[in-house]
Amino acid sequence: MTDYAIQLRAVSRVFGAHGARVTALDRVSLGFRRGTFTAVMGPSGSGKSTLLQCAAGLDRPTAGSVTVGGTELTGLSERGLTLLRRERVGFVFQSFNLLPSLTAEQNVALPLRLAGRRPPKDGVREVLRQVGLGDRAAHRPAELSGGQQQRVALARALITRPEVLFGDEPTGALDSRTGHEVLSLLRAMADTEGRTIVMVTHDPVAAARADRVVFLVDGRVSGELAGATAAGIATRLTELEAVPC
């Protein structure tokens, strides 16, 4: 066993065929250590979302291998992948993707119901408390602010106690103060619960909360920074975007 929660080895993902081929990921090799928080940055279309989807078992690479907690995803059946997605990884998106007709509590319980498990009321309330929404359990999404809705989405991702939590621009639709609150929750999940966090962001201030920033350009890893400041990250991003195509 390694202390890597996720390992990608020479992962490529090609979309389309013949004349319309797009290489979204081009032989990406990356490891994410347990209990660390990594930000993924890069220009639009550089493969950030595809990287997350392949690492989370939501998409299958064209070539290469992905290992989550020692399980090689390449060899898994659709059923095996479904179980992995359900039990071992969590995902939050920029658009919160909550069901509007369900209360916060029912939204959080949904992954357990879909897995055919009876959601323990205490467990659901506990996760809502953890994201600071203990008193909003009976509210529907329309009765919550954007930051609160994203925290419900976070609670829903956490209810199965996943080893790895992926966020694809989870603070992209939030103002900076609420974004900061969500980032603090992600940071705490790595620090106090040892979960592995991988987050795509365009915001250098958000990325500076991570332990490490990985930069993608044209589907390749173009470099990384550890323990960087927002200013250092912003400078690197400007350099990346200035690279001629």
Residues of this chain that bind ligand ADP (CB under 6 A): 15-16, 22, 24, 42, 44-50
**Which residues have C-beta within 8 Å of that of residue 150, sequence separation ≥ 6?**
92, 96, 170, 171, 173, 174, 178, 182
Q: Which ranges of the chain does DSSP label H, i.e. alpha helix?
A: 48-55, 78-87, 104-114, 121-130, 146-158, 176-193, 204-207, 230-241
Q: Exactly one of 49, 67, 103, 106 binds Mg ion (CB under 5 A); which one?
A: 49
Total residues found in the chain within this entry: 245
Judged by beta carbon, residue 62 or residue 82, the one nearer ligand ADP is: 62
Judged by beta carbon, residue 127 or residue 200, the one nearer ligand ADP is: 200
Judged by beta carbon, residue 35 or residue 170, the one nearer ligand ADP is: 170
**Which residues are registered as beta bridge partners of 65?**
9
- Interface with Mg ion, residue 178, by CB under 5 A: no
**Which residues are registered as beta bridge partners of 117?**
none
At 242, the amino acid letter reads A
> What's the closest the beta carbon of residue 123 comes to ligand ADP, in angstroms?
33
Q: Are 119 and 154 in contact (CB under 8 A)?
A: no
> What's the closest the beta carbon of residue 48 comes to Mg ion, in angstroms?
5
> What's the closest the beta carbon of residue 107 comes to ligand ADP, in angstroms?
25
Judged by beta carbon, residue 40 or residue 137, the one nearer Mg ion is: 40
- Interface with Mg ion, residue 201, by CB under 5 A: no
Q: How far apart, in whole angstroms, are the C-alpha atoms of residue 144 and residue 27?
A: 42
Stretch that binds Mg ion, among 48-56, 114-122, 180-188, 203-211 (CB under 5 A): 48-56
Judged by beta carbon, residue 28 or residue 137, the one nearer ligand ADP is: 28
- Interface with Mg ion, residue 53, by CB under 5 A: no
- Interface with Mg ion, residue 171, by CB under 5 A: no
- Interface with Mg ion, residue 50, by CB under 5 A: no
> What's the closest the beta carbon of residue 95 comes to ligand ADP, in angstroms?
14
Matching residue, tokens 């078992």: 57
Query: How, if at all, do strands 212-217 and 220-226 pair?
Result: antiparallel
User: Which pair of structure tokens corresponds to residue 141?
Assistant: 């999404």
What single-letter DSSP state applies at residue 172? T
Judged by beta carbon, residue 26 or residue 191, the one nearer ligand ADP is: 26
Matching residue, tokens 């001629």: 244
> What's the closest the beta carbon of residue 15 comes to Mg ion, in angstroms?
13
User: Which element (helix H / strand E) includes 15?
Assistant: strand 4-15
Binding site for Mg ion (CB under 5 A): 48-49
